[in-house]
Amino acid sequence: MRDFLQSFVYAGRGIATLFARERNARVHLVAAVVVVAAGVWWRIESWEWCAVAMAIATVTAAEAFNTAIEALLNRLHPDRDSAVGHAKDLAAGGVLLAALGAAAVGVVIFGPRLWALVVSPR
């Protein structure tokens, strides 16, 4: 049981390191805070919260995987190498795909609400 609980400590340390050291992770975090605040403001529905939570988790996880891959490859192969560059590009592309998917969720959930503000401001 102790090892199981210790795994949460390690995971928490990894998450803290991600946000402390990675600029893009902090950008994603700020975006997540803004989206959550917008969700609270507009009182989005339960299913919308599920979609928002999954989008935030997916982007954050993709950023963590990308960071881990880059750190490992930089350590194993510090010199410029086309195969390493290719792997890093693929990992970064995964983050971009996750972010685009999250943006699509945002457009579906918040787009009509934002449009209503533009068309008929209160």
The active-site residue out of 22, 48, 63, 70 is 63
Q: Is 73 exposed, middle or buried (0-12, 13-18, 19+ CB in 10 A)?
A: middle
Query: Of 64, 63, 83, which Cα lies nearest the Cα of 73?
Result: 83
70 counts as catalytic = no
Q: How far apart are CA 86 and CA 79, in angstroms?
A: 14
Catalytic residues: 63
